[in-house]
Amino acid sequence: MAARFETAYAKLNLALHVRAREPDGYHRIETLFAFCADGDRLERTDVPGLAIDGPFAGALEGDGDNLVTRAAYAFARRFGIAVAGGFRLNKVLPVAAGIGGGSADAAAALRLLAREHGADPAGEPLLALAAELGADVPACLLSVPTRGTGRGDRLVPLGHSLPPLPVLLVNPRRPLATGPVFAAWDRVDRGALAQGDALAAALAGRNDLEPPARALLPVIGEVVARLAAQPGVRLARMSGSGATCFALFDDDGARNGAAAAIAAAEPGWWLLPTRLR
Dist. CA 34–CA 61, nearest whole Å: 29
The residues that are catalytic are 11, 136
Query: For 51-94, what is each residue's pLDDT tens digit?
Result: 999 999 988 876 656 899 999 999 999 999 988 999 999 999 99
Which phi-psi region, left, alpha or beta, contains residue 220 (left: φ > 0; alpha: ψ -120 to 50)?
alpha
Say yes or no: domain 5-157 is CATH 3.40.50.450: no
Query: Which pTM does this prediction carry?
Result: 0.95
Q: Are 273 and 247 in contact (CB under 8 A)?
A: no
CA dihedral 148, 233, 256, 274 (to 10 degrees): 10
Using 50, 70 and 90 to split pLDDT, how confident is the model at 250?
very high
Q: What is the pLDDT of residue 1?
A: 45
CATH class of 166-275: alpha beta
Dist. CA 146–CA 169, nearest whole Å: 19
What are the residue ranges spanned by the domains of the chain? 5-157, 166-275
Work out the angle at residue 185's Cα, subtended by the Cα atoms of residues 181 and 190, and round it to the nearest 5 degrees.
135
Answer whether residue 227 shows pLDDT above 60.
Answer: yes
Percent of the chain residues topping a pLDDT of 90: 91
Rg (CA), the chain: 18
Q: What is the pLDDT of residue 64?
A: 57
Q: Are 141 and 121 in contact (CB under 8 A)?
A: yes
Answer whether residue 179 shows pLDDT above 60.
Answer: yes
Q: Are 170 and 245 in contact (CB under 8 A)?
A: yes
